[in-house]
Amino acid sequence: MSEKAFQDYYPDLMSYCYGCGRLNEFGLQIKSYWDGEETVCEFQPRSYHIAVPGYVYGGLLASLIDCHGTGTAAAAAYRAANRPMDSEPPLRFLTASLHVDYVKPTPLGIPLEIRGKIQEVKGRKVVVVSRISALGEVTVRGEVIAVQVPEHMIGELVKNSRP
Quote the least distance from Cβ 76 to a second copy, whole Å. Answer: 19
Quote the least distance from Cβ 104 to a second copy, whole Å. Answer: 10
Instruction: Judge if the upstream peptide bond of residue 89 is cis by omega within 30 degrees of 0.
Output: yes
Identify the three-state secondary structure at position 143: strand
- Helix ranges (H only) for the chain are 58-80, 151-160
Q: Give whichever of 26 and 36 is closer to a second copy, judged by the CB atom.
A: 26
Using the contact rule CB under 8 A, the part of the chain among 36-44, 98-106, 118-126, 128-136 near a second copy is 98-106
Q: Give whichever of 138 and 157 is closer to a second copy, judged by the CB atom.
A: 157
- As to burial, measured by CB atoms within 10 angstroms (0-12 exposed, 13-18 middle, 19+ buried), residue 13 is middle
Say whether residue 34 binds a second copy (CB under 8 A): no
Using the contact rule CB under 8 A, the part of the chain among 10-18, 32-40, 75-83, 121-129 near a second copy is 10-18
Query: How far apart (Å, rounded) are the C-alpha atoms in residues 41 and 32?
Result: 5
